[in-house]
Structure 1
Amino acid sequence: EDNGLPVHLKGGAKDALLYRTTAGLTVFGTIYALYYLLVSSLPKKPN
């Protein structure tokens, strides 16, 4: 059936929720990884 919806949303609300959750976790994980790469690349201040 061609109703103009992308294939990952044709299953309805459950598929939309799964897609948004996956996309959100991916964005969060990428930001988290980049943040810790930045933190680990900076030298520690001596006490």
Structure 2
Amino acid sequence: MEVAMTEGAKIWESIVPGESVLIEYDSLTLPYKGFYYLLTWARKKGMMS
């Protein structure tokens, strides 16, 4: 059975090298989790050592 991609996963997979990514911040959430996912994604794609 194939698992459907979430909207967030679709967004991450649509990012291309060299593209800027805006991580929003508000007083109720911290951007650290999004930044962590961005770094993890870049490492998985071989864009970081």
- TM-score, L = length of structure 2: 0.37
More helix by share: 1
Q: Which has the higher contact order (CA 8 A, sep 6+)?
A: 2
Who wins on radius of gyration, i.e. which is larger?
1
